[in-house]
Amino acid sequence: MSDASGASAEVELVQLLTPEGERVEHPQYSFDGDDEQIKGWYRDMVLTRRIDAEATALQRQGELGLWASCLGQEAAQVGSGRALYPQDFVFPTYREHGVAWCRGVDPIHLLAFYRGVNLGGWDSQAHRFHLYTIVIGAQTLHATGYAMGVERDGLVGTGDPDRDVAVIGYFGDGATSQGDVNESFIFASSYNAPIVFFCQNNQWAISEPIERQSRIPLYRRASGFGFPGVRVDGNDVLAVYAATTAALDRARTGSGPSFIEAYTYRMGAHTTSDDPTKYRLADELEHWRLKDPIERVRAYLTRSGSGEEEFFAGVEAEAADYAAELRARCLALPEPQMHNLFDEVYAEQTPYLAEQQARYDDYVGTFEEAQA
């Protein structure tokens, strides 16, 4: 039995903030922060959406080769990203722009990646945020292996909140059909790895609806592998934060893996090479537009009196200025030079690569001589 959104009628979402902006209680999860914290998340989401929109525009104008939008998924990303401790480690897909923002990754690196300037120019260790993974589901194996290593390094269950580490691996609903993801579930469960599997169920694996991918809600798959799963309202930043906090705490204390299904919706195309009008109906999009993650926080802050129009206008102005600056920085990115690629394969260049680089330089030099 499903409702108009495709959600199974008997499945209860963990929700702490309704689409109308009303706070509600849940018997297992709660949010104990204040409105200032929520205002900070509102800013995170607005800036993430504005960066996303600017990147989409840049791609349409031929300045990026591709862009994978996170429109509509801001609460799932910001709520989970802000639940992380500094020492936790993130393994993203290619769409976690909001999580990258929360981890302090300069968005120019994301644009440079999609512009083809580099393979991801941020320091993954400094930000505890791995490079984007294009191969669907592959990052879950990387995350599980890293989590297994963390446990063997004695960084789990020590009781020291500044020492214990959790790992979080992001993926979409389509990736749950990949062997890599299911293999990572097996290893994580067998070795009690300190990992949170965070699935953003945005309803569409490119053009394939969730109903054709799974006979049961995705979070229930976790029980078959021997660890808990929960479905949260992925458009509710408070619920996502609460559920992710609990799962990360469980991982850090040595209680093993968890699965979070953030039930959300991809408001835009899968990537800028996709046309969603060919496979989904406009009324479905309108149904989910009423559940917009940013608008429900704005409604709450307005209702509670914590958010005045001056605050909202200030955030919008900041986002517009940031986007304009980001556009200028993107257009000013230098073109990659083939000579430098040989220096960036390993931390220390090997003699074999140095020889290749020298031969390449000699080859390029022949053209310069011919033009002289």
Query: Could you tell me the two tokens for 190?
Result: 């067998």
- Could you say which of 95, 128, 266, 296 is catalytic? 266
27 — phi, psi (to 5°)? -65, -20
Q: What angle do CA 173, 175, 178 make, to 5 degrees?
A: 135
Q: Looking at 60, 163, 279, 303, which residue is catalytic? A: 279
266 is known as an active-site residue: yes
State yes or no: is 127 an active-site residue.
no
Q: Which residues pair with 262 in a beta bridge?
A: 200, 232
Question: Of the residues 109, 231, 252, 270, which is catalytic?
Answer: 270
Which of 300, 263, 218, 242 is closest to 26 using CA atoms?
Answer: 242
Tokens of 228: 């808990």
198 has which bridge partners? 170, 260
> Is 363 one of the catalytic residues?
no
Decide: residue 37, CB within 10 A, 0-12 exposed, 13-18 middle, 19+ buried.
middle
Per residue in 66-82, is it b (16+ CB within 10 Å) or e — as a string?
ebbbbbbbbbbbbbbbb
Q: Rounded to whole angstroms, how far apart are CA atoms 102 and 368?
A: 46
Q: 172 with 268: CB under 8 angstroms? A: no
Contact 349, 342 (CB under 8 A): yes
Write out the two tokens for 158: 């020590």
Residues with a known catalytic role: 266, 270, 279
